[in-house]
Amino acid sequence: MHVRSKKFGAHRDTTRTVFRQLRQRNCAPYVADAGGILNTPVELLTWRFLLSQLRFPLELWGGAECTVNRVGDVYYDQYVFSGHGNRTLEDLEMFAGLGLRTLRVGLQWERFAQTMSWTSADTIMRSMEEIGLQPIVGLLHHGSGPSWTDLLDPNFPQHLSAYASQVAQRFPWVTDYTPINEPQTTGRFACLYEHWFPHHRDMRSYLRALFHQMKGIALAMAAIRATQPEARLIHTEDAGLTYAVPALESFRVEREHRRWLGTDLLCGRVTREHALFNFLLQYGLDEREVLWFEDHPCPPDVLGLNYYVTSDRFLDDRLDLYPPFMAGGDTGSEPLVDIEAVRVRPEGICGIGEILKQAWQRYGLPLAITEAHLGCDVDEQIRWLAEIYADATAVRKTGVDVRGVTVWGLLGLKNWNNLCTKNDGVYEPGVFDCTSTFPVPTDLAALVRQLAHGQDPRHPALASVGWWRQPSRLTIPVPVGYPIPSFV
């Protein structure tokens, strides 16, 4: 790589040091974990400059929807709905045929506990190893664990850690893990909105569930690293931010602080000075358990952000514009409606580019978009993925360390129209359509293949913008005079 000496000559020796250390670890420059290899502030600054100059294509990852969630005593398994469990090798070969080399894969705790058999996991991992796919192994994806535990069980973290240790010992060659996908979303849906087991509807339960999940992640990674010291935490969270009318600014600020709370805990940043410290104590958490993370930090090696067209939210106090059942907010008694920002905010959604910048400024950690999917017709899906990839590429050129974009729902998704609360048969295709006997590639597959091979996206649908960028998206009258918020 050539670096212009006029701009960077003073750091030529440091540049040689950086690349020497990268080579010693057999790391390609664009995937190296600078925080674990480089030692001095100058070296880290050098790394960030070099990253901004790289011309390697942004990596494209993939993943089949792998949620196993519980409603009452019923478990809904997306691998069963898509048929992936019965076509493991064939599906993985199709994914590799697109040019994908890294795949998020679910070895879900609940699935193992139901059979106490490694057959399914062995088939998945053996097939990936034979094909040459790099796995990012998930252990819990919107679930609450086997029937004998749940998110509010004080021993939940230790139980998850024990399962993580079993997985690591069985597959010691695996280095990348997501012990729990989107713990914030899971905590809200299970313990704040009562959609999923254990079906609670209060802030105290939600915070307790979040803390149990975050401690579970930290203990799981410690158990995994006891077997595989080089294991990396690829931590994923919903990336949406919140807007509001002026009268609801305090509610918006609280949500923005909560948006980062899980990752703040993992990074050991929740101290007595944290904006939510007293809030956490108010809702029943003990000071010792809050500060436990400060003494046991487990920062992500890559912070994954999942972003959907409905991720950005808008808090509206004009209750007369909405059906009564939509009012109440997070606690059920808040004087507001929490609506998709795309439907009411004149500027539309924030976009993943701005969110990547916010995460980079807050943490300085390597980033990835770990879910990119749109439930719509294939032309709109093509526009959404192309926009996500373009935004990530543009932000990366400014020096933000973005590692990859994940095409999510390769085999489609089922029941997400009702938040997976019942099996009503509603299916939305992904890169492949599974409504027939065997998955059939859609037009989205061609775009995925282009991006995976470093090509510019080409498709007639890209001649126009997605529906989320058009005036027709607004279904609620625009509020008058609300300010552009300063995000926390």
In the predicted model, is pLDDT for residue 421 greater than 70? Answer: yes
Write the CB contacts of 51 (distance below 8 Å, at least 6 apart in sequence): 29, 30, 396, 399, 401
The number of angstroms, rounded, from the C-alpha of 28 to the middle of its chain's C-alpha atoms is 24
Place of tokens 């254990």: 198
- Domain residue spans of the chain: 13-56, 57-473
Is the predicted pLDDT of residue 446 greater than 70, yes or no? yes
Q: Does residue 143 or residue 17 have the better pLDDT? A: 143
Average pLDDT over residues 244-261: 96
- How do residues 162-183 score in pLDDT, each as one tens digit? 999 999 999 999 999 999 999 9
10 pLDDT tier (thresholds 50, 70, 90): very low
What DSSP element (H or E) covers 363? helix 352-363
Is the per-residue pLDDT at 205 higher than 80?
yes
Q: How, if at all, do strands 232-238 and 302-307 pair?
A: parallel
Q: Measured in Å, how far apart are the chain's first and last C-alpha atoms?
A: 38
CB atoms within 10 A of CB 222: 15
Cα 105 to chain centroid, rounded: 13
pLDDT given for residue 2 in this prediction: 31
Fold of 57-473: TIM Barrel (3.20.20)
Q: Is it the case that residue 1 has pLDDT exceeding 80?
A: no
Confidence band, pLDDT 50/70/90 cuts, at residue 39? low
**What pLDDT was estimated at residue 142?**
98
Predicted local distance difference test score (pLDDT) of residue 35: 47
Average pLDDT over residues 309-326: 97
Mean pLDDT, residues 1-14: 36
pLDDT tens track for 430-445: 999 999 989 999 999 9
Please say if the pLDDT value at position 31 is more than 90.
Answer: no
pLDDT for 480 equals 77
Question: For residue 41, what pLDDT band results from cuts at 50, 70 and 90?
Answer: low
The percentage of residues in the chain with a pLDDT greater than 70, rounded to a whole number, is: 87
Let me know: does 103 contact 133? Beta carbons within 8 Å.
yes
Burial of 379 from C-beta contacts in 10 A (0-12 / 13-18 / 19+): middle
Which has the minimum average pLDDT: 53-67, 320-334, 411-425? 53-67
Residue 44 has pLDDT above 70, yes or no: no
pLDDT by residue (tens digit) across 186-196? 999 999 999 99
Q: What is the mean pLDDT of the chain?
A: 91
Mean pLDDT, to the nearest integer, of 351-373?
Answer: 98
pLDDT in tens, 82-113: 999 999 999 999 999 999 999 999 999 999 99
Please enumerate in sequence order all residues whose Cβ is within 8 A of that of 178, keeping only pairs 6 or more positions apart, or say none. 104, 136, 137, 138, 139, 233, 234, 235, 236, 304, 370
